[in-house]
Amino acid sequence: MRPGRLLCRLGIIAGVVAAFTVVTPVASAQVPAETEPTEAQVEETAPETEELETQEPQELTAAQKRALHLKRVRVMKQIKRYRKITWRWQKLMQVRRSPVTRSAERTRSLAYKRWILVHWKQKARKARRKAMNPPRKAAWLCIQRHEGAWNANTGNGYYGGLQMDLSFQRTYGPGLLRRKGTANRWKPIEQIWVAERAYRSGRGFHPWPNTARYCGVL
């Protein structure tokens, strides 16, 4: 066989092999199902592929395009809502806020937006469940039973179910004090987490010397 023909056939074979190898998707880019990814990992590792992308055909009518746009807007509003809920619980617990890459805002894919919405719903539920179960919840509830009602404001300078004075509130719950007023206006779980902050600062249960002894934690 002539060298020119041999080289030509080898070139054709190489082209066919390349055509079959280039289109194989990379499976490792997906987040393993057994681990719970952070928001950054989810949005970075789930790019807008053809599988997630919702194409907008040219033959859609103006009304259909408008309806699709409204669906995107509604889903985006829900994503922002669940982000805020998640961050509010995390702020109360004083833990690191879940990061976000804003890819949901950038994409036009309705399917991708819905996928991110499911992720934030899960994070919001998890954050709420953790916030509603502080590590010393039983102790705080016991102290509250001896201290007073959650909305107590008897005029003695102490407020709420854990009887916090203004100095205590300014030190451990300045944001709540600024937004909502004194502790008797806070939710019970908010009062507990402010007390938990004092505990973690090194004060323990000493701000409640008598009732903490009644409850056997001091």
Domain range annotation of the chain: 38-52+60-132, 137-214
Largest CA distance in the chain: 106
Q: Which CATH architecture has domain 137-214?
A: Orthogonal Bundle (1.10)
Taking a C-beta distance cutoff of 8 angstroms, is the pair 56, 108 a contact? yes
Encode the chain (218 residues) as per-residue pLDDT tens digits.
444 454 445 454 444 444 434 333 333 333 333 334 444 555 555 544 434 444 455 678 989 999 999 999 999 999 999 999 999 999 999 999 999 989 999 999 999 999 999 999 999 999 999 999 999 999 999 999 999 999 999 999 999 999 999 999 999 999 999 999 999 999 999 999 999 999 999 999 999 999 999 999 99
Q: Would the CA dihedral through 82, 85, 88, 93 be positive or negative?
A: negative
What's the pTM value of the predicted model, to 2 decimals?
Answer: 0.73
Q: Residue 207 and residue 218: Cα distance in Å, rounded?
A: 11
